Amino acid sequence: MTTMTIDAHATALTRARYQRLSPFYDLMEGMAEFRYDPWRKKLWSLVSGSKVLEVGVGTGKNMSHYPKGIQITAIDLTPGMLDVARRHAEKLRLTVDLRLGDVQSLEFPDSSFDAAVATFVFCSVPDPILGLRELARVVKPDGEILLLEHTRSANETIGKVMDALNPLVVRMMGANINRRTVENVEKAGLQIESVEDLAMGGIFKLIVARVR
């Protein structure tokens, strides 16, 4: 496997963008959550195993869907997001191991978790393939990685519009709207179990992959 290094500048920019947005991030995405929340619930219903990693926990939007009786470690790149997530966990009376961390360089030993989950995260990771390879490393062999993501449209006309708008959206919101995440999962060496198109002609997808 080719050695990949973290782009420290791009990672710092991503952290700064989300730090800036963290105080009002939930308010900003409030309307969208009416659509996203059922998808989050569906994804977490598929999670199996007793020890699970969530990357990009953000403000803790998935916490109400955490399965009971499992040990969850949740990381985020941004201190401001984690501050909100901690308050959310306290409100829900959840025990969650919340940590500052970068999916591109996870501070866990190999095969530490039964499964890993990310929702709307790999649109923002500077090097998504590196991040996905890290998930493959820390999840046990044959363990699952479950992703809820928005991706570049398969319609080439719409896809080109997304490409053109992407630099502006990244500067404003931090997220790339034209990521080819299914292809990135394959490039990371993961075995795709299923891809479910959820909305907008397949832009929103639920991806289940397995560690080979």
Q: Are the beta carbons of 17 and 126 closer than 8 angstroms?
A: no
| Residue 122 confidence (pLDDT) above 90 | yes
Average pLDDT over residues 182-209: 96
The pairing of beta strand 113-119 with beta strand 51-55: parallel
The pairing of beta strand 71-76 with beta strand 97-100: parallel
Cα distance between residue 51 and residue 152, in whole Å: 32
- Residue ranges and CATH numbers for the domains of the chain are 8-210 (3.40.50.150)
| Residue 4 confidence (pLDDT) above 80 | no
| Residue 31 confidence (pLDDT) above 90 | no
Residues of the chain above pLDDT 70, percent: 99
pLDDT (0 to 100) of residue 3: 54
Label residue 81 exposed, middle or buried (CB < 10 Å: 0-12, 13-18, 19+): buried
Residues of the chain above pLDDT 90, percent: 89
CA atoms within 13 A on the CB side of 127: 21
User: What sign does the dihedral 54-46-87-113 (CA atoms) show?
Assistant: negative
The strands making up 191-199's β-sheet, listed across from edge to edge, are: 97-100, 71-76, 51-55, 113-119, 139-150, 204-210, 191-199
**Which pTM was predicted?**
0.93
In the structure encoding, which two tokens stand for residue 175, read together?
């997220």
| Residue pLDDT, tens place only, 64-116 | 999 999 999 999 999 999 999 999 999 999 999 999 999 999 999 999 999 99
pLDDT (0 to 100) of residue 1: 43
* Nearest Cα residue to 25 out of 99, 97, 93, 83: 83
